[in-house]
Structure 1
């Protein structure tokens, strides 16, 4: 929801980052890989109790995740494989945080597993609808907006890290939000793919 409605306000900042990265000779795929590495490192730092640094890296990873798409559009280098990398690496980052929290606070292992399954369900709908629906946006596939998009996910992941041994309620709320998003996407898919 935030990504869809607020992107226009932060796009100048993203465009500045893309300009800097391009001047450094980085391609969109280079930035995608860097974003994934920083995001995974965030999960590792969470596990080792360095949550604040982990959160900072998580958000910088998310920023770079937006920068890579801008680079691809600016340089007209968007590719199907770049899209696959982007979406796959996003899930790897989310998984790294969930695993980091689950290992650091084993009392939330089952709840973390339910969160991971809810993300799988929502992403399955998202990824099967994308290639089947007509694309009318600037992304390389049909983008299904929903209550839980990347920014909401980062907010919830950050709260999970911040609250530590009290993160269970956030994990449950995040799971409910992701499942609601899956429901939204399922209804939209039914409507546009009939």
Structure 2
């Protein structure tokens, strides 16, 4: 199970006060999403220009800021389907930007480059499984590696020079997460089918 699932109560003690502060400052959920995405792009640009530690910290701050858009939306009662859609798309763009930078850094290291590509693929598939499952009425929030864990692993790995270890850790963890989510959805599908069979008898 991912970190969010275990420690939601504890993290809310920190997240909610900050979210209230952002709301009082006049920041909207979509505005926070946009700032987070722009921060990721800026940080990655700085990283690729030869300042990996500074760039990594900027990306980390932007990613943390982006985590508050949903909180502010709930606190201000401004949750919308369009806002959720925009947040999801922005997250995927940010992920692609980070992994593109990883691929560029690892372009002359075949083993590391392969790990980055597998990690990116598992990240995309993990997100797709959840989105598709929820569209069909299933829950697919289980798994070892979700976005917060991915970012917490890949940014230090990229900024401090151990990208190979971080990429392969995400590649393996991502594959496990895919298996966990597929198992969860298939179990729910079987339960739903059994319930329909029972109702028809």
Structure-1-length-normalised TM-score: 0.86
- 2:168 aligns to what? 172
User: Does the residue aligned with 1:76 lie in a helix, a strand or coil?
Assistant: coil
CA distance in 1, matches of 2:106, 2:49: 11
Deviation at 1:147, TM superposition (A): 0.6
CA distance in 1, matches of 2:64, 2:85: 18
- 2:95 aligns to what? 94
Structure 1 pair 71/143, CA: closer, same or farther in 2 (3 Å)?
A: farther
Larger Rg computed on CA atoms: 2
CA distance in 1, matches of 2:8, 2:56: 21
CA distance in 2, matches of 1:157, 1:45: 16
Deviation at 1:17, TM superposition (A): 2.2
Deviation at 1:26, TM superposition (A): 1.3
8 Å CA contact 1:46, 1:104 repeated in 2 = no
RMSD, aligned CA: 1.9
Deviation at 1:40, TM superposition (A): 2.1
CA distance in 2, matches of 1:125, 1:119: 10
1:114 to 112, 118, 140: 118
Deviations 1:112-135 (A, max 9, x none): 22222111221221110012226x
Deviation at 1:42, TM superposition (A): 2.4
Deviation at 1:143, TM superposition (A): 5.6
Structure-2-length-normalised TM-score: 0.83
User: Does the residue aligned with 1:25 lie in a helix, a strand or coil?
Assistant: coil
- 2:177 aligns to what? 181
CA distance in 1, matches of 2:57, 2:5: 22
CA distance in 2, matches of 1:7, 1:180: 22
8 Å CA contact 2:125, 2:178 repeated in 1 = yes
User: Does the residue aligned with 2:67 lie in a helix, a strand or coil?
Assistant: helix
- 2:195 aligns to what? none
Deviation at 1:79, TM superposition (A): 1.1
- 2:62 aligns to what? 61
- 1:9 aligns to what? 10
Deviation at 1:83, TM superposition (A): 1.2
- 2:146 aligns to what? 149
User: Does the residue aligned with 1:26 lie in a helix, a strand or coil?
Assistant: coil
8 Å CA contact 2:53, 2:159 repeated in 1 = yes
8 Å CA contact 1:133, 1:192 repeated in 2 = no
Question: Which runs of 5 or more structure 1 residues have no equivalent in the other structure?
Answer: 135-141
Matched residue pairs, number? 186
Q: Which runs of 4+ in 1 moved over 6 A?
A: none
Deviation at 1:151, TM superposition (A): 2.2
